[in-house]
């Protein structure tokens, strides 16, 4: 089947520096604010520092080692102040997460709009759309695989879904700093916009085309459904094709991040073999 794609001029505007000091008195900060303003763990802290998002680095008192030296040096290069604090303080900032002796106060994550994501993407992008994903570990794992498999961007809804949290950042091992993420008000409208821009859209379901027969060429968008409910019925009806992953065991479905990983690498292998730029 022939596919025609609209060619459009895409320009990326200059991004203003909106870096702000995010550290406030501990007693004033809610759990939501802690999630927006801190990342923890070695990989997440290093990647955030490299991207210039660090405001203040908190290190465990008397901590030593190569990783501590690395983040101290990065902080010095970025003119980010360093403060040595007790374990209780790091546990508070990380909300009892595995912080590895380091927590970084950051500028809150800046999501893209769908238009901004399209503007900075290659001619024939590969996007992942997350349909009300709720588990931050799944989101982080998907981000990690998306970075490894050349996904050009991820689209998430603004409401009733997990956003960028410290757990997502840590689970992604820093991939969140490299995979563009757009947040939209309405996923159905976003899918329609992509189709108008020449994208082929695909969903995941128990019954559908075997994913090994999936044609991944051109501009494509793959929807991964909610962990428990799967894809919403409205989105199922709007996609061009539903894909399924064959299973022979007793379970009825795979973990969302595992299913997404299989599909992302299927697309990666096909698009790489034919020389399609990711």
60-74 per-position pLDDT tens digit: 998 899 999 999 999
State the average pLDDT for the chain. Answer: 85
Where are the domain boundaries for CATH 3.30.1330.30 in the chain?
26-106
Where are the domain boundaries for CATH 3.40.1280.10 in the chain?
114-273
| Least reliable range by pLDDT among 16-25, 128-137, 169-178, 246-255 | 16-25
C-alpha span between 124 and 221 (Å, rounded): 10
> What superfamily in CATH does domain 114-273 come from?
SPOUT methyltransferase, trefoil knot domain (3.40.1280.10)
Q: What average pLDDT does range 97-112 have in this prediction?
A: 87
pLDDT of res. 27: 47
Report field, pTM of the whole predicted structure over 0.85: no
Residue 243's closest CA among 270, 199, 207, 218? Answer: 207
Of the pLDDT bands very low, low, confident and very high (cuts 50, 70, 90), residue 11 is very low
Q: Is the pLDDT of residue 240 over 90?
A: yes
> What is the CATH number that goes with domain 26-106?
3.30.1330.30
pLDDT of res. 35: 57
C-alpha span between 105 and 234 (Å, rounded): 39
Per the document, the length of the chain is 278
142-175 per-position pLDDT tens digit: 999 999 999 999 999 998 889 988 889 889 988 9
Answer with the residue of higher pLDDT: 70 or 30.
70
Q: What average pLDDT does range 129-147 have in this prediction?
A: 95
Q: Is the pLDDT of residue 52 over 90?
A: no
Assigned token pair, 165: 């949290």
Q: Which helix (H) or strand (E) is 156 found in, with range? A: strand 153-157
């Amino acid at each position: 089947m022939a596919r025609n794609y609209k060619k459009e001029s895409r320009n990326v505007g200059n991004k203003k520096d909106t870096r702000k000091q995010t550290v406030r008195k501990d007693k004033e900060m809610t759990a939501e604010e802690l999630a927006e303003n801190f990342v923890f763990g070695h990989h997440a802290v290093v990647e955030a520092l490299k991207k210039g998002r660090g405001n203040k680095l908190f290190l465990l008192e008397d901590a030593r080692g190569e990783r501590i030296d690395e983040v101290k040096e990065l902080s010095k290069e970025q003119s980010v102040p360093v403060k040595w604090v007790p374990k209780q303080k790091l546990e508070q900032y990380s909300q009892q997460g595995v912080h590895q002796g380091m927590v970084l106060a950051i500028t809150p994550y800046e999501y893209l709009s769908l238009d901004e994501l399209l503007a900075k993407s290659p001619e024939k992008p590969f996007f992942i759309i997350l349909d009300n994903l709720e588990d931050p570990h799944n989101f982080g794992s998907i981000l990690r695989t998306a970075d490894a498999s050349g996904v050009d961007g991820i689209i998430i809804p603004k409401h009733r879904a997990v956003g960028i949290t410290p757990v997502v950042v840590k689970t992604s091992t820093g991939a969140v700093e490299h995979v563009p993420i757009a947040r939209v008000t309405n996923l159905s409208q976003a899918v329609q916009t992509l189709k108008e821009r020449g994208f082929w859209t695909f969903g995941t379901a128990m019954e559908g085309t075997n994913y090994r027969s999936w044609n991944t060429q051109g501009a494509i968008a793959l929807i991964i459904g909610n962990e428990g409910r799967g894809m919403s019925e409205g989105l199922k009806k709007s996609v061009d094709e539903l894909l399924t992953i064959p299973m022979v065991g007793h379970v009825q479905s795979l973990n969302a991040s595992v299913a997404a990983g299989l599909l992302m690498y299927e697309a990666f292998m096909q698009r790489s073999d034919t020389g399609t730029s990711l």
